[in-house]
Amino acid sequence: MSIVNPTCPTDCTYTLQIVDADICNPDLAFGQINTIYLAARNAADLTDWTDQTEWDARLSNTGTDADDIRYLFGIGEKPAAESAEYKISKGRTIYGKRTHTITFEVEDTGVNNYNFIRYLQCNGFYKLWYQHDKWLYGGNDGIEDVSIKVDEVIPQSDEEFLKFIFTITWKAKFSPERTELNPVA
């Protein structure tokens, strides 16, 4: 099951969504984004992003099909999104589109991944899905038009790993869609 974007009221009638507040058995998840999935901006959307078979058919780090989805393992985070705050009449406050940012570090820095990050430095736009704990984020379409800044970071210490540091950003009104169970976990 996927959590889709809410339909916002068009008047002042709001009905609050269902919530959980279980004192004995809260639904918890640890942090850390551990996998990112990237596709070309023009890659076909997934038909059912909760279907493992469809993911198996599309995931390929070596394929040459325009619809292939690449994946990288690493360590990442997604802090709170930033958004502009606007004061309007009658003391109301509204918020603009949120700027979402993921920072992702990849230690697998071999020749193929080095060539890949150099290609990403062409400043293109991509589709993104990301994996955290038991969830996958991105929907059938992926998170569209993400910008990716990626750099190779060589530490001074000979006891630290060289890393590729990705800074992935996008603008959206809502947080991305999320599966209830990750089909590619």
48-107 tens-digit pLDDT: 999 999 999 999 999 999 999 999 999 999 999 999 999 999 999 999 999 999 999 999
> Which pLDDT band holds residue 1 (cuts at 50, 70, 90)?
very low
What would the pLDDT profile of 126-163 be if each residue is shown by its tens digit?
999 999 988 999 999 999 999 999 999 999 999 999 99
**Distance between CA atoms of 107 and 117, rounded to whole angstroms?**
13
Determine the distance from the C-alpha atom of residue 113 to the mean position of all C-alpha atoms in its chain, rounded to a whole number: 19
**Distance between CA atoms of 185 and 172, rounded to whole angstroms?**
26
Interval 121-130 mean pLDDT: 96
CB atoms within 10 A of CB 98: 17
Single pTM value for the model: 0.91
Interval 25-32 mean pLDDT: 90
Structural contact between residues 110 and 80, judged by C-beta atoms closer than 8 angstroms: no
